[in-house]
Amino acid sequence: MTTPVRASGESTSRVVASTQRPPSVLPSWSVVSLVFRASLTEMLRRRTFVFLALVCAIPLGLTLLWRMLAPEQFGAEVYFTNLVSTLYLQLLVYVVALAFGIPTVHSEVQGRTITYLFTRPIRKIDIFTGRLLAVQLTAGGLLAASLVVCFALMVAGNFEVVTFEFVKAYVNHVFLVLAATVCATAVCAVFGVAFSRPVVWGMLYAFGWELAVSKFPSQLQNYTINFHIRNLLLDDADVESKLLDAFRVLLTQEAEVPGWASAFALTAMLVAAVAVGGFLFSRKEYVIS
């Protein structure tokens, strides 16, 4: 009498096991979109965003000083070119990249909230991609807003400075600032995945490798974002900045790179950073007690 019962129990367990299939993985686009929107809302509410917004307001104060003290000594195009090449590309881009890029997924690990995402049937690389896109949009949007307000302060009541050459230089510089921000943020995001103390490595990269090696006249310049961004600025024949002209000979002593090669190098750096960061994040095991 017990044998049929056991057989019936075994058959029932097989039926239950067959019906309890693992949940299918959610589509990548849906996951990236959901993570992107949630991450964007989260970052806009952080105190870091408010602090960096105040930091990005520094060029606005400098622009007001230029309008009051030296609009005739330095033309609008010369002033704006020097402002971008010194303050934005040498400081603000990397400050914003460090502040937003490193916490891309590192903040989730430190806050012990990453497990909520790992318990869902989603790919890790989709989580990384969604958060990185939100980080890049926030960082780029902050600097773009600063540049737009700078332009408005420069031309308000001073519309004679709005020439074709100035507008062309402005658009070129804004595009390159955004390109540098997107690339640097992706690299900093890799540090947040790869290292337990990513801030140290990020500082060494930003203010050691990028700002020091990119100015050293050697072939190592080719492996820095800052060099290729400046190379594209120098490649523009309409740029009249005396500061950039002073560096022209130094920067091209041993590394002469055409503009298209710099654009390709920046694209390759971005793709490599995203690929490495996504790969490391998808392979890394996070044990959070």
Average pLDDT across the chain, whole number: 80
Burial of 49 (0-12, 13-18, 19+ CB in 10 A): middle
Nearest to 102 by CA among 63, 140, 131, 126: 131
More confident site: 234 or 124: 124
- Identify the DSSP state of 265: H
CA distances from 205 to 166, 183, 224 (A): 33, 13, 10
Average pLDDT on 75-95 reads 91
Q: Under 8 Å CB-to-CB from 80, ≥6 apart: which residues?
A: 150, 151, 154, 166, 169, 170, 173
**Cβ neighbours of 169 (radius 10 Å):** 23
For the residues 116-134, what does the mean pLDDT come to?
Answer: 80
Nearest to 46 by CA among 180, 139, 143: 139
pLDDT tens digits along 198-245: 899 999 999 889 988 887 777 788 889 999 998 888 654 433 344 444
**Domain spans, the chain:** 27-283
What is the pLDDT at residue 31?
Answer: 81
What mean pLDDT do residues 58-64 have? Answer: 93
- Do the beta carbons of residue 215 and residue 251 sit within 8 Å? yes
Tokens 């002033």 belong to which residue?
Answer: 79
In whole angstroms, what is the distance from residue 60 CA to residue 147 CA? Answer: 9
The arithmetic mean of pLDDT across residues 154-168, rounded, is: 85
